[in-house]
C-alpha cells in the first residue's frame, strides 16, 4: 500500500500532477529503513524501542562491528526487508581530529516481495 513519499531531511514532495508524492515497494522500504536507522530510540513516542540512533555514534570511539549488528537488528523490523539472504552491511568511521567525526554506511539487502537486491548508501556526520 502506498504511503507519503518522504526522504529524511527533506520536505514532502509533489507528484507530476501536483498531488503529494507517494512511495511504495522498494522506494518506500528504503525510506523506512533510513528513517529507522537515523531515529533515536525513545524519540518515536508510539514505539519507544524504534530506531537505531546512528547520529549518536558521531563523536564516539568507532565500533563498526557493533554498529553493523545494531543496523542488522533494526532493519529486520521492516517488513520490506527479507531476512534471507542476509543483508550485507558496511560501516566505516570517518575520522577527524580525535573521535569519530562521522560514519559512512552501505547496505545491500533483498526486497521481501521480489527478492531483488536493494542498495542504500549514506553518511552521518556531526
Residues 6+ apart with CB under 8 A from 123: 94, 102, 103, 104, 105
Q: Helix, strand or coil for residue 56?
A: helix
What is the mean pLDDT of the segment spanning 34-49?
93
Of the candidate ranges 4-8, 51-55, 56-60, 118-122, the one whose mean pLDDT is the lowest: 4-8
Predicted local distance difference test score (pLDDT) of residue 98? 65
Predicted local distance difference test score (pLDDT) of residue 100? 67
Q: What is the CATH number of the domain that holds 65?
A: 3.10.450.40
Structural domain of residue 80, as residue ranges? 3-125
Q: How far apart (Å, rounded) are the C-alpha atoms in residues 21 and 13?
A: 6
Q: In percent, how much of the chain has pLDDT > 70?
A: 97
- Domain count for the chain: 1
- Residue 88, C-alpha cell as written in the block: 550485507
The answer to whether the peptide bond before residue 85 is cis (omega within 30 degrees of 0) is yes
Q: How far apart (Å, rounded) are the C-alpha atoms in residues 107 and 88?
A: 6
Amino acid at each position: 500500500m502506498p504511503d507519503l513519499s518522504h526522504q529524511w531531511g527533506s520536505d514532502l514532495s509533489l507528484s507530476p500532477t501536483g498531488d503529494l508524492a507517494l512511495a511504495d515497494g522498494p522506494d518506500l522500504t528504503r525510506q523506512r529503513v533510513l528513517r529507522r536507522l537515523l531515529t533515536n530510540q525513545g524519540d518515536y513516542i508510539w514505539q519507544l524501542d524504534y530506531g537505531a540512533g546512528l547520529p549518536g555514534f558521531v563523536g564516539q570511539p568507532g565500533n563498526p562491528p557493533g554498529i553493523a549488528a545494531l543496523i542488522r537488528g533494526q532493519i529486520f523490523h521492516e517488513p520490506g526487508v527479507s531476512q534471507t539472504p542476509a543483508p550485507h552491511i558496511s560501516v566505516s568511521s570517518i575520522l577527524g581530529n580525535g573521535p569519530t567525526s562521522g560514519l559512512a554506511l552501505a547496505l545491500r539487502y533483498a526486497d521481501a516481495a521480489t527478492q531483488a537486491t536493494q542498495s542504500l548508501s549514506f553518511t552521518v556526520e556531526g
